[in-house]
Structure 1
Amino acid sequence: MKAILLAAAVTAAFSGAAFAEFPERPITWVVPFGAGGVTDITSRRLAERLQAELGQPVIVENKPGAGGIVGSQEARIAAPDGYTLLLATSGPFGIQAALSPEKLPYDPLSDFEFIHGVTASPQLIVANYNAPFNTMAELVAYAKEHPGELNFGSPGVGTAQHLGGELFKRAAGIDLEHIPYTSGSTQMVDLAAGVIDLSFEYQTVVAPYVEDRKMKILGVTLGERLKASPDIESVTEAGYPDAVNVGWTFLAVPKNTPEAVRAKLEDAMAKVMNDPGIVAQVESDGRSVVNLKGHQPGHDYISAEIAKFKAAADGIALK
């Protein structure tokens, strides 16, 4: 009996030491979308800062497909040891969980542990620079005069950008065809070239194209104007309050990741997300920091968002 207790004590001691030394090798940060989109750009900025906190490389890997489901599932089945992180987004963790839970190979609320909130982001309604409309009112008028002609792109079915387009077209009473992509960068290239007409995207992604006069901003999916861009009209001001839509992200790990490992990641991410430079950068992109640390606050936030998406998207078929 003493031998068994001694062995257990030794094992616990070694396990505790192993957790205390975490991380001992590079960490993978999974982005469930292609390169060039807002989740990719944000992840690379934050991974670099997190690397400084943890003392090990944090390598971003893009795993696109099925509106974020493919990458999220790959993270779910990874070893629960803290060496695989996932940028959980409102598409595969909120919208699709609300509207098509039977299509998900995972449960967003029970198959993951949430480390820290990352960002909350409204979308900008953008059009090709040569489009025959310059405001939301002009867009709606044109769409009603030319039914079935306009379309909008998104990084994939069930993403926050997809829901943004669906909510706007329902609120405005117009017809817009959805064109899904697997990469945010490919979608932007096509919009700039006039292959598609519109997108409901994030400021980080569209800014270079707007500066180069390849796209123009028609509005923002908020109830009020952005502090950083007060010249952009909100959907509520334009008369479409039901089109308000904000995408969010959280850093997550597979369930059963050791508590000591999660604690280290939580502390490190809290420092990253409270870094004045990171906060300023996030806000300059038209977003805000979701300053929620630990699993339960993240779980509660996402649970409430799923309920909100169910109510907001009632009757919308995401396809």
Structure 2
Amino acid sequence: MQKISIVAAALMLAASPAAIAQQGYPSKTIRFVVPFAPGGSSDIISRAVANQLTAGLGQQVYVENKGGGGGNIAMEEVKRAAPDGYTLILGHIGTLAVNPAMYGAKLPYDPVKDFQPISLLAVVPNVIAVHPDVPIKSLAEFVKAAKDKPGKLNYGTAGNGSAGHLAMEYFKMQAGIDIVHIPYRGTGPMLSDLLGGQVEATFNGIPPIMSHIKAGKLRPLAVGSAARVPALADVPTVAESGYPGFETSQWYGLMAPAGTPRAIIDRLAEETRKALNSDDAKKRISDDGGITAGGTPEQFAALIAKEKERWGKVVTTAKIQPD
């Protein structure tokens, strides 16, 4: 009897901490932090995925919006959370690829060292849209209006350094135009003013503005993705509108604090794969113009590294500064 106990103890000691951690995971509610205010693409995607993860994991995965500081406040908080799989965060092009260049040494987290990628969730094409009272019906007319009267047209975004801000600055560089940036504190407030006519245009992710496009409250001019978006099949891409090779989309992924056991990362990655393949998540995301993604933690890490380099150059060239 004593021999069996000794053998059992030895086997337990030999087992990796990751394997032990996974055995009872998850055993309680999981917090899924979204580093932005409600009302944007991040909300639509995170809630669609959280619903499916709840079913797959057998524990409630609840979304908590924690905006502010261009996403930095939430990122800093989650990097300090226990690496046990019970606090996750929505990774985004802004927090992972743009902020490192924009904030430099002042950034309160390291997007590579402080977090563990789990899976890319979705890619959201951006769309240039205008208020219907603006007498512009194509991207060519938009560029012409901007060149005829430099500094007169304006566009709204969710804030300095947001994905929409970077997308339009990138396009401005390609088209050689001068239009005025009006930053807001979130997509919701910006959209309110855009619909009210206080702002003329935006280069925003499709999901939060799709219903307004369908209702005729906003006029789409071009999408920033490499190919046309099925939900907006009649809207040309920026590339086919005279700017070959132009492409810009937002992307979102699931992250955990660094140090989270690999077994838990793998479990979450597998359940995320299932969630993204579910009819419900696909429909909710695609209906609003998004594209479900997926992939391994390593593939997501490679995307972050590539996009960090790409958008860092745009931030530097456009001299974008935080609020």
State the distance in 1 between where 2:105 and 2:179 align: 26
What is residue 67 of structure 1 aligned with on the other side? Answer: 70
- 2:256 corresponds to: 253
Aligned counterparts of 1:34 and 1:76: Cα–Cα separation in 2 = 19
Q: CA deviation at 1:146?
A: 2.4
TM-score by length of 1: 0.90
How many Å separate the matches in 2 of 1:14 and 1:227?
46
Q: Which whole-Å CA distance do the structure 2 matches of 1:18 and 1:313 have between them?
A: 41
Offset at residue 43 of structure 1 (A) = 0.7
Change (3 A) 1:66 1:5: farther
The AA in structure 2 aligned to 1:306 is K
Deviates more, 1:37-46 or 1:89-98: 89-98
1:78 equivalent in alignment to 2:81: yes
Question: Residue 230 of structure 1 is aligned with which of 233, 240, 258?
Answer: 233
Question: Alpha-carbon deviation of 1:12?
Answer: 7.3
Name the TM-score, length of structure 2 as normaliser: 0.89
2:111 is matched with 108
Give structure 1 stretches of 5+ with no counterpart: none
| Partner Cα distance (2:256, 2:63) in 1 | 14
Q: CA 1:116–1:11 in 2, change beyond 3 Å: closer, same or farther?
A: same
Cα gap change, 1:179/1:290 in structure 2, threshold over 3 Å: closer, same or farther?
A: same
Superposed displacement of residue 44, structure 1: 1.0
After superposition, where does 1:166-315 map in structure 2 within 5 Å?
166-241=169-244, 243-294=246-297, 296-315=298-317
Q: 2:156 aligns with which of 145, 153, 157?
A: 153
Shift of 1:280: 4.3
SS class of match (1:117): strand
Q: State the 1:8 CA deviation.
A: 8.0
Task: Check conservation: 2:119, 2:272, Cα contact below 8 A.
Answer: yes
Structure 2: segments with no counterpart, 5+ residues? 1-5
Deviation track 1:283-314 (CA, whole Å, cap 9, x = no partner) reads: 343332222122x2221121112122234555
Contact 2:39 2:187 in 1 (8 A): yes
Give CA-to-partner distance per residue, 1:147-188, whole Å, 9 cap, x none: 222221111221211101111222222212222222211111
Q: Structure 2 matches for 1:133-152, cutoff 5 A?
A: 133-152=136-155
How far off its partner does 1:254 sit? 0.3
**AA matched with 1:89:** H
SS state of the match for residue 71, structure 1?
Answer: helix
* Structure 1 letter corresponding to 2:50: A
Paired residues of 1:66 and 1:156 also in contact (CA < 8 A): no
Tell me how large the CA RMSD over aligned residues is: 2.5
- Report percent identity of matched pairs: 35
> Residues of 2 paired with 1:208 and 1:239: CA distance?
27
CA contact (8 A) 2:130 2:221 kept: yes
